[in-house]
Amino acid sequence: MVHDSVIEFKNVSKIYQTNNGECAALTKVDLAVRPKDFLSVAGPSGSGKSTLLKLLLGEERPTDGQIFFNGQDIALFSTSEMPHLRRRIGTIFQDFKLLSNKTVYENIAFAMEMVGKPTKEIEQDVPQVLELVGLSDKTEYFPHQLSGGEKQRASIARALIHRPEVILADEPTGNLDLLNTWDVVRLLLKINELGTTIILATHDREIINNLNRRVITINRGKVIRDEENGRYVL
């Protein structure tokens, strides 16, 4: 069954070390995500949603347990192999993580340049994806010249640009108005239909209840619910 999952968490715990003691962000999480799933991760603020995604991306290492990506234990990836994992995942970061020294255009292009995509393809794809997220008129802006929502959309554009197998979306609508929120949700659904696995972390009750897809609910680092066609219950 292992190879049926794109992503599998086995008994994963994460304890952060801080100055005033330890903080258990995740406790014994077991989770299997099938290809083409649209999985929502629900839970209140501080419950461990971002931590779950960070472990998957290798930004943080689990204190205990194993995480598999297409059957490979990601703890076994070395620093030089990590980029190969990350290029197969597109991440929309909760804090955007745009390169402050580069314009919007360059930020998106960077994700293609670093894998050696030809310039022609880049010049064709980047304006398209910027159009998709409604940033066509801001291509030459630097991140500090953008509003919160615009930064969020730039981050979304970067996650989509290289057509990854999996998209991790951490509160992708946190800074958006209602109209934009539903645009983004519809966009994610569309991408999912085209075959991309999506993991969406959010504490937005409206989104979860309207999606009618699989939902896991985390509270204080524990998965307390895992339902197909789930609703936001807490």
Partner 1 sequence: MSIFYLTFGRILKSGWNNFLRNRWLALATISVMVLAIFFMTGLIFVNLIGKTLLVNLQNKVDISVYLKQDVSEQDVSIIRSDLTFLNEVKDVNYISADEALASFKAKHQDNAVLMESLQELGNPLLPVLNVEAQEASQYEAIVNFLGQDKYQKIVDKINYQQTKPLIDRLSSFTNKVSRGGLIISIILALVAGLVTFNTIRLAMYNFRHEVSVMRLVGASNWYIRGPFLVEGIIYGVIAAVSTTTLLFISLYFLSPKINSLVPGSDLLGWFKVNFFSLLFFQTGAGILLGGVGSLVAIRKYLKV
Ligand X SMILES: Nc1ncnc2c1ncn2[C@@H]1O[C@H](COP(=O)(O)OP(=O)(O)OP(=O)(O)O)[C@@H](O)[C@H]1O
Instruction: Give 23 or 187: the residue with its C-beta nearer to ligand X.
Output: 23
At residue 15, φ and ψ (nearest 5 deg) are: -120, 115
Residues 21-60 that bind Mg ion (CB under 5 A): 50
Residues 40, 50, 91, 197: which binds ligand X (CB under 6 A)? 50
- Candidates 1-9, 46-54, 74-82, 158-166; binding stretch for ligand X (CB under 6 A): 46-54
**Of partner 1, ligand X, Mg ion, none, which one sits near residue 15, judging by CB under 5 to 8 A according to partner kind?**
none
Instruction: Give 75 or 99: the residue with its C-beta nearer to partner 1.
Output: 99
Is 55 near ligand X (CB under 6 A)?
no
State the number of CA atoms in the 13 A half-sphere of 1 facing the CB. Answer: 4
| Residues 30, 191, 94: CA angle, nearest 5 degrees | 60
- What angle do helix axes 104-113 and 148-161 make, rounded to 10 degrees? 20
**Cβ 208 vs Cβ 230: under 8 Å:** yes
Sorted by sequence, the CB contacts under 8 Å of residue 205 that are 6+ apart come out as: 232
Is 23 near ligand X (CB under 6 A)?
yes
3-state helix, strand, coil in the chain (%, to 5): 40, 30, 35
Start-to-end C-alpha separation, the chain: 31
Instruction: Give 104 or 201: the residue with its C-beta nearer to ligand X.
Output: 201
- Candidates 10-18, 106-114, 188-196, 202-210; binding stretch for partner 1 (CB under 8 A): 106-114
**Of ligand X, partner 1, Mg ion, none, which one sits near residue 78, judging by CB under 5 to 8 A according to partner kind?**
none
Residues 139-158 that bind partner 1 (CB under 8 A): 158
Sorted by sequence, the CB contacts under 8 Å of residue 119 that are 6+ apart come out as: none
Which helix or strand (DSSP H or E) is residue 7 part of?
A: strand 7-18
SS3 67: strand
**Of partner 1, ligand X, Mg ion, none, which one sits near residue 46, judging by CB under 5 to 8 A according to partner kind?**
ligand X
Burial class (CB in 10 A: 0-12, 13-18, 19+), 17: exposed
Is 195 near partner 1 (CB under 8 A)?
no
**Of Mg ion, partner 1, ligand X, none, which one sits near residue 43, judging by CB under 5 to 8 A according to partner kind?**
ligand X
Instruction: Give 94 or 181: the residue with its C-beta nearer to Mg ion.
Output: 94
Using CB under 8 A, list all residues that contact partner 1: 57, 59, 79-80, 82-87, 89, 91, 93, 97-101, 110-111, 113-116, 118-119, 158
The site for ligand X (CB under 6 A) is made up of 16, 18, 23, 25, 43, 45-51, 94, 203
